[in-house]
């Protein structure tokens, strides 16, 4: 595998990371919008629409752009040095990267879930509100983590 191929894999992993991190940040952003004390449902819907628009513009569209232009970007950014060959095939390397990202996301979900359970215990004592957004965020992390781990082989076959 050449340096450019390795660069393409890195670009795809970066794009997938952008998608996963942006999707997993949506529940906490929704919770923050809810905690602002917005009076009307229209204001809350506007805040939610703006937040979703920003996620799409700042994370999902750039990630899709990187994936669609990965060959051109790899040629522009990475020197194709034929003397330094890496002895790993692109598809398994991408699969390993996706699994590592999935494990990281899964662990983040477990930690967020533990925080949500502790916040729930505190809220049962009557001192704070229910941590619904934290539970949702933990669930999103867990689902995305499992999806990346289980889908690493098909995704790497499709993206490499």
DSSP per-residue string spanning 6-71:
HHHHHHHHHHHHHHHHHHHHHHHHHHHHHHTT--SHHHHHHHHHHHHHHHIIIIIHHHHHHHHTHH
Range of the domain at 20: 3-159
How far apart are alpha carbons 4 and 82 in whole angstroms?
10
How distant, in Å, are the alpha carbons of 26, 39, 45, 51 from that of 42?
19, 9, 5, 14
Q: What is the pLDDT of residue 112?
A: 81
- End-to-end Cα, the chain, rounded Å: 12
Rounded-to-integer distance, Cα 160 and Cα 121, Å: 46
Q: What is the pLDDT of residues 114-133, one digit of tens each?
A: 777 777 766 666 656 666 78
pLDDT at 48: 76
**Cα dist from 46 to 39, 41, 57, 142, whole Å:** 12, 9, 16, 28
| Under 8 Å between Cβ of 116 and 138 | yes
Question: How many structural domains compose the chain?
Answer: 1
Task: Please tell me the predicted confidence (pLDDT) of residue 147.
Answer: 94
* Residue numbers in the chain where pLDDT is lower than 70: 31-39, 81-86, 121-131
Is the pTM for the entire model greater than 0.75? no
Res 82: pLDDT:
65
């Amino acid at each position: 595998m050449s340096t450019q191929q390795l660069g393409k894999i890195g670009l795809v992993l970066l794009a997938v990371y952008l998608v996963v991190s942006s999707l997993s940040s949506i529940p906490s952003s929704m919770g923050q919008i809810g905690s602002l004390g917005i009076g009307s449902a229209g204001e809350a819907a506007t805040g939610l629409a703006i937040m979703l628009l920003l996620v799409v513009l700042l994370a999902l569209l750039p990630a899709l752009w990187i994936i669609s232009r990965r060959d051109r970007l790899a040629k522009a950014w990475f020197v194709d040095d034929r003397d330094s060959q890496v002895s790993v095939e692109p598809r398994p390397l991408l699969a390993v990267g996706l699994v590592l990202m999935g494990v990281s996301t899964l662990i983040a979900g477990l930690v967020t879930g533990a925080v949500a359970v502790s916040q729930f215990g505190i809220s049962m004592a009557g001192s704070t509100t229910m941590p619904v957004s934290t539970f949702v965020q933990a669930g999103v992390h867990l689902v995305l983590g499992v999806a990346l781990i289980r889908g690493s082989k098909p995704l790497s076959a499709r993206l490499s």
